[in-house]
Structure 1
């Protein structure tokens, strides 16, 4: 299918035969490409890329955040790691309500969950890494010590949150040198973070047990967060898990399991499978929006981040019944934005090993506090994902992981051969845009560059704790065309035009042409990403 002229210009995909990496930053992609060129695997590349992301995209991810990955081995096996932590052992929805709170704050110690990223990365490396972590993370440590140049995105992020960053000594020294917002091109050295990266490369689990952990717990307790230390220590142990998988069209989609909402991608795919091909665009977007709203409603009403209720939503009978209901559904199906800052990367090596990985601090710069003396910014995942609603599946409770937005996926054919690998950051937009990527690749037959650039639509809000009860809208990029936007309004949607490229996200895709032995990859033109082949 050719790219519609009305959708504007699009890049051509990057082509490669020996391996390919894609990320939202040239520095990050460069780190991964160097690993592949030196004989490393896709897993090695993702380990290096994720560490470089801590410097290249400091508002989006970090050591104090979360990390998830789905891996496809050359023999066809698919496995995952899901690194997401707990809230404080001493905290509960009832207790916080008794303290006069109606919602968790989005900044400061009370917003923080135990970081899961380092535990997950340590497991990924232990299971499938072929190079040492000190070797793979040395470029990131060097970048921290010397300082990467500030990009326009970083400058905008820092400027928006300058007051909060200035209140944290470590973050201010790094991101506000001389007490001012940096200019594009200014280097941002972070020597304390460099030392932390080197220490964690030698002993990853020292984040959870030892001097760094003691500093973190002390900081959080001093701010009123009731961490015992045991839940912090538990974050070190991240097991290997299987993927959650289901068919869509002629592929099988494999996603990360809970606490990620990967199952929501599969639920939407099950509701839409076979229904989009040949439909006029307004009808297709309408169905995509209904499926997304159905998934958000089901998650809010029934599904804990770390529970099993989602399984019942993916059965043949449940999907059949939901498809029938969707046929006659109104545009708005239940009241529960697309907020948040995250980054992701994709790598495929010459042996057919593929990794889709994603990491985040939740909102930009997370809780906007750091572990003293380390340069490690902490996430605000608890404030974003835990509800102060006693009895709710996602109510704040000891050793309950908060609701999550991150997910990663890859697709194989029915024989298990790799077809596509992808992901996107973007809060609750992720589960919607990942479905839109799949429909672009599978139903429309678009190439990776066309798929990541296709006009994007977003049901808003999803089910973030701070967004419940917000008016429901359908945010649409204007490249869909005036006729499509009008058709959606006629179908009952409150359509919001977000401009030609304003929907958000930073989608990444690699596709495999098995017949010709070629990999094709592309990064979203909405950010600074690049695909590099070797």
Structure 2
């Protein structure tokens, strides 16, 4: 069976992330005696430096963790809407959607506090120990990947005319960084050095230093700069300048929190996800919709079945998920409900958004979702996001190609040159059996102006809420916007064995499902799970539901497949009525995974070759 790389195996520790420098930094922490949680935090802060177009400290990160000596838990690094972020305020500005960029789209930042809470409660290293890798890359530079400069070029005019603080950092000498050139972020390095100095002055105790740093983020020099800059009007995707609603009181009131995961059992496996404030349960719904006997993996019938199940689960996501209401997950994952829903999957592709009626309740969709679902209201069926808005539905870069074959176009850049933010991912397992999976995102360099003196911008996660009252995902002060970020953890016979995830916005729980089923159905390699084979297998996604990112479009009946999936599958899907787009051979998904065999203690890891950026390391 062809794979681009081997599945790594060892007994000491494994890390897989979307950037090789983050993976190697995580491994360096493991080699220095740290555990999986220390390593994940170090990798998270490195990703802020080396993938600034994909995430930042003022973004978000849901984390799912399985301590060797405790239960699986979810750590919520998604901040809520500020107290002033009401539907009435936004509609009074003439808006019908939250802008995709700018201060008005900023939720309370959640990533920083979540990383530090993970370090305090489950790590062993000091804050200085885990920050030194990020500080080093920010101070001395890292070889820039292609996408950083390409992203900056797509928003050059905005930086030069409006977001001048961003131009100072990313258009030095009037040009964007070229691939392979050293890119520094000395303001960020200085921010972390000052943070450490103040935290260490507050106490000699490790945990107390971490809590001091958390207070500085909320109320000290960082919190003051965040609140001050949020109040300054800045140009956004509406074409106008707006100030944000984030205040110092919002920052002071927020801390990351722990909660129980939502789980579903399938053929001896249990998959754990974050709750209905994420799209994570849609993965579980897709599992629950599967029949007892599946068609042959990779066949037209198999792909058709998964596409149609995804449409049903994502329709329920649109009608029922969100932090502004109780999500009826018990019913949505129940056997009776899914038996009835399963009967809706026929031999032909559905072009209709079909949410269910859990507990007899009538589903309610937003006016915008109804408009894009029916094609009324003048909305583009899928839409080209304005610069900086939204996440892509395909991988950045094209991955491996046949020697001698010409390169294909990079699907990460839209035809009109606009660009979108994306996401990162981290999985780590250590020799003690600790597992952690995290999906950091938001706070992209193209999301908001860089805050002078800090070296990073605010996020834009509020764009995922609706400006209509009474919906589960209505913009609501103190409530979290429903996020697409969705790390995963799988147990086998009740024992945690695998952590995995991917960037990719709305498509994350499609690609992850395909990966999980491939792992579960593939023969083992060298006595372990075939992680790399499952990652490398041809992948696909559909857009038959309203998108979570500005401008919130959809494409009914669509499915985009990698060309490697083969003519038999492509033709079979078209015969079933699917609107098939054939993408580049290596364009769907950016998965990472680590695993542990509890019987032998053997650890495994693999990372996605698409985009030529993600790597696994370990020994």
* 1:425 aligned onto 2:500: no
Q: Distance in 2 between matches of 1:314 and 1:234?
A: 34
2:579 counterpart residue number: 494
Q: Residue 366 of structure 1 contacts residue 380 of structure 1 at CA under 8 Å; is this kept in 2?
A: no
The counterpart of 2:590, out of the listed 506, 512, 533, is: 506
Q: CA deviation at 1:481?
A: 0.4
Equivalent pair of 1:208/1:233 in contact (CA under 8 Å): yes
Residues 423, 434 of structure 1: 8 Å contact kept: yes
2:48 — aligned with what? 54
Whether the 8 Å contact between 2:276 and 2:321 is mirrored in structure 1 is: no
Give the alignment partner of residue 321 of structure 1, picking from 340, 360, 363: 340
**Which segment drifts farther, 95-104 or 422-431?**
95-104
Aligned counterparts of 1:512 and 1:226: Cα–Cα separation in 2: 44
Which residue is equivalent to 2:25?
Answer: 31
CA shift, 1:283, in A, is 1.0
Q: Shift of residue 20 of structure 1?
A: 0.5
Q: TM-score normalized by structure 1?
A: 0.93
Distance 1:180 1:240, change over 3 A: same
> How far apart are 1:328 and its partner, in Å?
6.5
Match in the other structure for 2:617: 532
CA offset digits 1:184-231 (Å, max 9, x no partner): 222122111012223445313322212322222222222222334322
Matches within 5 A, 1:297-376: 297-305=315-323, 307-311=325-329, 312-327=331-346, 330-334=349-353, 336=373, 339=392, 340-361=421-442, 364-365=444-445, 367-376=447-456
Tell which deviates more after alignment, 153-162 or 296-305. 153-162
1:214 counterpart = 2:298: no
Deviation at 1:89, TM superposition (A): 1.7
Measured against aligned partners, the alpha-carbon deviations of 1:61-87 in whole angstroms (never above 9, x if no partner) come to 110100111111213521120111122
CA contact (8 A) 1:86 1:232 kept: no
Cα separation, 2, equivalents of 1:499 and 1:189? 32
- SS in structure 1 at match of 2:294: coil
In the alignment, the residues of structure 1 paired with residue 482 and residue 446 of structure 2 have an alpha-carbon distance, to the nearest angstrom, of 15
Which runs of structure 2 are paired with 1:359-398 in the superposition (5 Å)? 359-361=440-442, 364-365=444-445, 367-383=447-463, 385-398=464-477
Shift of the 34–228 alpha-carbon distance from structure 1 to 2, 3 Å rule, reads closer
| Aligned match of 2:176 | 181
Q: CA separation in 1, counterparts of 2:3 and 2:136?
A: 37
> Structure 1 residue 115: deviation in Å?
0.8
1:381 and 1:11, CA in 2 relative to 1: closer, same or farther beyond 3 A? same
- Bigger CA drift: 521-530 or 96-105? 96-105
Q: Determine the C-alpha separation between the residues in 2 that align with 1:30 and 1:117.
A: 21
In structure 1, the residue corresponding to 2:343 is in which secondary structure? helix
Deviates more, 1:369-378 or 1:319-328: 319-328
**Residue number in structure 1 paired with 2:406:** none
How many residues in Structure 1 have an aligned counterpart in Structure 2? Answer: 523
Match of 1:227 among 243, 246, 261: 246
Structure 1 CA distance, aligned partners of 2:216 and 2:335? Answer: 45
Give 3-state SS (helix, strand or coil) of 2:55's partner: coil
TM-score w.r.t. length of structure 2: 0.80
- The answer to whether the 8 Å contact 1:88/1:113 transfers is yes
Give 3-state SS (helix, strand or coil) of 2:76's partner: strand
Q: Tell me, which stretches of 5 or more residues in structure 2 are unaligned?
A: 200-212, 234-242, 354-371, 374-381, 383-390, 393-420, 524-528
Q: 2:484: which partner in 1?
A: 405
Q: In the alignment, which residue of structure 2 is the partner of 1:268?
A: 286
Q: Which moved more, 1:269-278 or 1:240-249?
A: 269-278
Aligned to 2:399: none
Does residue 91 (structure 1) correspond to residue 85 (structure 2)? The answer is yes
Residue 438 (structure 1) aligned to one of 516, 523, 531: 516
Of 111, 119, 134, the match for 1:117: 111
Which runs of 5 or more residues in structure 1 are unaligned? Answer: none
Work out whether residues 324 and 479 of structure 2, in 8 Å CA contact, stay in contact via their aligned partners in 1: yes
**Change over 3 Å in CA distance of 1:341–1:120 after alignment to 2:** same
In structure 2, distance between residues paired with 1:153 and 1:280: 31
Inter-CA distance 391–217: structure 2 relative to 1 (3 Å threshold): same
